[in-house]
Chains A and B, each alone.
Chain A
Amino acid sequence: MQGGKLSATELTEYYLERSERFQGALNGYISLTRDKALETADHVDSVRRQKGHLSPLAGIPMAVKDNIAVRGVPTTCASKVLANYVSPYDATAVEKLADCPILGKANMDEFAMGSSSLTSAYGPVSNPWDLKRSPGGSSGGSAALVAAGCAPFSLGTDTGGSIRQPAAFCGITGFKPTYGRVSRRGLLPLAPSLDQMGTLTRSVEDAALVLQEICGYDSGDSTSAPHGVPDFSASLIDDVSGFAIGLPKEIMESCPDGGTSRAVEAAARKLEQAGARVSWVSMPYLDESLAAYMLIATAEAASCLARYDGVAYGYRHSSLSLEEMYTGSRIFGVEVRRRLMLGTFNLGTDSGYELGQQAREQISSHLEKLFTEIDLLLLPAAPFIAFPLAEELDPLTMYYNDVYSIPANMAGLPALALPCGESGGLPVGMQMMAPRFREDVLLQAGYTWQCRSDWHLRRPREVEL
């Protein structure tokens, strides 16, 4: 594009065309924003013609998860409650990527509550590797669109694994930065103390480029980290010699999907050959961590969703009494209702949320100690591979999807999911976690892996031309 051989408009048109063609099969978008995308592309092209200033990613289109505010377009969180809600402002990350044409708002689980993208009020998302399977969730649309080549990259959010598990299910690269790295301003919250915005890309290299743009302190988010942002691309080095990698023994031994644990272990050996030191470590508290996560996440969600009471948003039951108006206006889906009930109970009792927070502190301090011995943790991104859409998972099994990813949210760590193999013909993802603000370690290790493997280059057949 800088050489004038390709215009932003041509590139955007290409992705829009693909997005529209596969929308029926994937249902990856809740709304497609063709006009807005072309408007941005046209602006970029004219600035480029006039040799004006443009940001590094100017003209590269993206899909934005529908729980991230984009001015002038619907921001629904995949819920009927926000069916008619049009955000009057852009999220900070969207502002920072203002030169990237927005193709559309990506489908997801309703209010990001789920690991399947099945709970969307706008229909389930299909996995491009097998349309009868789930792309994972909650950033299922964001992952499916990148995997299917409908968007070069997308923005997602991760509260307990919502970027990493769908990235693993769809065979792409998912990056959840350190809590506080990316402003949460404009992220419609699931659980504010756990939520973090991140990227879904084809490669670690792309992740570094997008992260460079969206990370950084924002005075509009009081929990935003004041830390300076390093040059992430400088960490794209094919070298892990001297890296101490910890492999959690309990997880590798008990992972329900044998193909997954085999692929992750094989990857560990390959990194060892590349010069890393791999050792077994112990993370004996995963079940407790999942339980504590549910206590915290449901309580905070119940609080954050209190505003959708039927007064200002969505459907309002017309009735004379205030009580009837409130009770008649409840149009949340089943999973959201379930979590709101759990969350309200956890808020109401003194023990629930507090207990979760105490467990969280213990997990954080354990991980902190672990990172005095190792540079990064290597583990599966999820305990399962993409499951069939038709399979009715019970809620507890569904929650178990996030069991390997949750510790990073509990401790605010950066984590990266990478394709590392296949199991039953479906992608398998591995996950790396590093100490807070050490995105550089993840980028270097992930880049080294992708220099020595080709899993991230494979494309799903079904939607390939």
Chain B
Amino acid sequence: MTTPIIGLEVHLQLHTEKKLFCSCPSDFAATPNTRVCPICLGLPGTLPILNQGAVILALRAALALGCTINPISSFERKHYFYPDLPKGYQITQQRQPLALGGRVETPVGAVDINRLHLEEDAGKLIHTGGGTLIDFNRSGVALVEIVTAPCLTSGSEAKAFLHSLRQVMLYANISDCKLEEGSLRCDANISLSGGERTEIKNLNSFKAVERALDYEIQRQGKAQAQGEKIIPETLRWDEAQAKTVPMRAKETPGDYLFLQEPDLPPIQIEVELVDRARMSLPELPRLRAARFVLEYGLSQERAKLLTATKEMADCFEQLVATGATSLGAANLLLGEVSRLLNLGGELPSSHQLAELLALQEAGSISVTAAKEVLAQMFAQGESAHSILKKKNLCQISDNAALEKLAEEVLARSPGPTEDYLRGKKKALGFLMGAAMEASQGRANPVVLKEILAQKITAQPKKY
């Protein structure tokens, strides 16, 4: 079979309060048509005014991907008719995009970026029994479109690329990258070498991207093998049927009738602005992971896991800064914290976690209790101290208390005590269990064990 050629077009909603060409807020999930003004409704005589904040964010996105910034970029009108497009055209960047080139490193290899440009979003059609309504809240929201080179060859590569892209974009705080809310959208172009190209839309999850592409590779391969022609068309991924379904004939750039936007002068980007944007970028995940290996003596695998999100990596470094050992901090974050995060929790503050770690390392809290405290922290957001106090979870390391506990347990369990004295060392395990239970798991097991062993041998022999 011939090699599949896949390129992706990713749209990210920029993390900016205002829309791209007006002052309306970008929170388009609000009540329909409450985030609109004459400009984003495209009312006659209105003019677009470029939101500089969006330009800076797009610039940061381009730099985070290693793109080359065009010193001068311009806007074009892309014409097509659809009811959710109030002006009859979308303002985008066609001829001179904001940035060219760039690359995203993924676990399965590097993916080249062809271009990154700014554009505005369209409105949204809402189909009801009584007809179709239009919500223009999203109209004019600032997007960047990132176009990869046609260098991907499988659904899993595409998925890996999207994960890595999202990781970088989240790190640089460009977009919240939520597929389900539409702040990250992906279309895919695919062909088999020598064949015609199809475009797949409606890819609502990373998994859908992978499945749709793998399906399309198979479909095109089968068609080719049977001597059928691939129709260059736009397809829709139908999740329920698990197949691609034709939407419309594929557009060529000529169909869109581009016109240089006469209402907006070109964007001129000064070198100083690029420098400032570059300085404002945080350390990106790959470099940070490498530094973690060097600086904290972590394994590559653990460094990668710790730098998966900026929040986790920041938290790790804050824990270490407050005195935690890198081993302890990594164990906590990659263990119980990660488990709870996967269950859908939100990362507690590093301050809260530092407190817990300190208690753990001082031996004043057992492993079991630490788990319970952490769960409580995720659920309620309380501090470790207040949870411990409320739940009475502090570890008992006090000798007098533990001696008393040991004596009680020995008195209650003459059988196992005798067994131990007769040489059955395993009996100590039973006694430990009983003592731990009696202390509701709060006894410091190391100290308790010592005391128990001492007490048994110190017992007056009964025979």
Contacts and interface: CB of A to CB of B under 8 A. Distances in A.
Interface of A: 67-69, 75, 77, 82, 85, 87-89, 91, 184-189, 191-193, 219-223, 299-300, 303, 305-309, 311-313, 322, 326, 344, 347-348, 353
B83 A311 contact: yes
Given A89-B38, A306-B88, A347-B79, A222 B44 contact: no
Interface string B80-121: 010100111100000000000000000000000000000000
A309 B259 contact: no
Given A88-B38, A347-B257, A312 B86 contact: yes
B259 A353 contact: yes
A353 B77 CA distance: 13
Given A87-B44, A187-B45, A306-B87, A222 B263 contact: yes
B257 A188 contact: no
A327 B253 CA distance: 23
A303 B77 CA distance: 8
Contacts of B265: 222-223
Contacts of A85: 44
Interface stretch (B47-55, B152-160, B320-328, B341-349): B47-55
B447 interface: no
Nearest 10 A/B pairs, CB to CB:
A306-B88, A192-B262, A193-B262, A347-B257, A307-B88, A69-B45, A188-B44, A186-B45, A188-B45, A311-B83
6 contacts: A75-B44, A75-B45, A222-B48, A222-B49, A306-B89, A313-B44
B134 to A, nearest CB: 8
Nearest to B38: A89
Given A193-B262, A222-B264, A353-B259, A69 B79 contact: no
B46 A185 contact: yes
B49 A220 contact: yes
A219 B49 contact: yes
Given A306-B87, A322-B83, A91 B45 contact: yes
Contacts of A348: 254, 257
- Interface bin, chain B: 20 to 34
Contact of A326 (B43, B81, B254, B258): B81
B55 to A, nearest CB: 13
Given A221-B47, A222-B47, A192 B263 contact: yes
A222 B50 contact: yes
A309 B47 contact: no
Given A222-B50, A307-B87, A326-B81, A87 B45 contact: yes
Interface string B223-264: 000000000000000000000000000000010011100111
Contacts of A312: 86
Given A184-B263, A303-B257, 9 more contacts: A67-B45, A77-B44, A89-B46, A186-B45, A219-B49, A222-B48, A303-B77, A303-B79, A306-B89
A300 B262 contact: yes
B42 interface: yes
B134, B254, B262 interface centre (most CB from chain A within 10 Å): B262
Contacts of B83: 311, 322
A82 B43 CA distance: 11
From A85, A192, A303, residue with most partner B Cβ within 10 Å:
A303
Interface string B34-46: 0000100011111
Contacts of B88: 303, 305-309
A307 B86 contact: yes
Nearest to A185: B47
B262 A344 contact: no
Contacts, number: 87
A428 to B, nearest CB: 34
Contacts of A313: 44
A185 B257 contact: no
Contacts of B263: 184, 192, 221-223
Given A222-B50, A309-B81, A326-B81, A303 B259 contact: yes
A193 B258 CA distance: 15
Contacts of B259: 299-300, 303, 347, 353
Contacts of A75: 44-45
Residue of B48, B79, B88, B264 contacting most chain A CB atoms (<10 Å)? B88
B255 to A, nearest CB: 9
Given A192-B262, A306-B79, A220 B38 contact: no
A270 B160 CA distance: 80
A113 to B, nearest CB: 15
A47 B451 CA distance: 96
Contacts of A221: 47, 263
Nearest to B263: A192
Contacts of A223: 47, 262-265
Interface in B259-275: 259, 262-265
A443 B100 CA distance: 49
A311 B189 CA distance: 31
Contacts of A189: 45
Contact of B44 (A82, A193, A344): A82
A307 B45 CA distance: 11
Nearest to A187: B45
Interface centre among B81, B134, B254 (most CB of A within 10 A): B81
Interface in B392-442: none
B46 A303 contact: no
A87 B134 CA distance: 20
Contact of B43 (A67, A87, A191, A303): A87
Nearest to A306: B88
Contacts of A186: 45-46
Most buried by B among A184, A185, A307, A353: A307
A184 B43 CA distance: 14
Interface in B52-79: 77, 79
Contact of A306 (B45, B81, B264): B81
A300 B89 CA distance: 12
B459 to A, nearest CB: 91
Contacts of B264: 222-223
Given A69-B44, A222-B263, A311-B83, A303 B49 contact: no
B47 A220 contact: yes
A188 B83 CA distance: 21
Contacts of A307: 42, 44, 86-88
B110 to A, nearest CB: 35
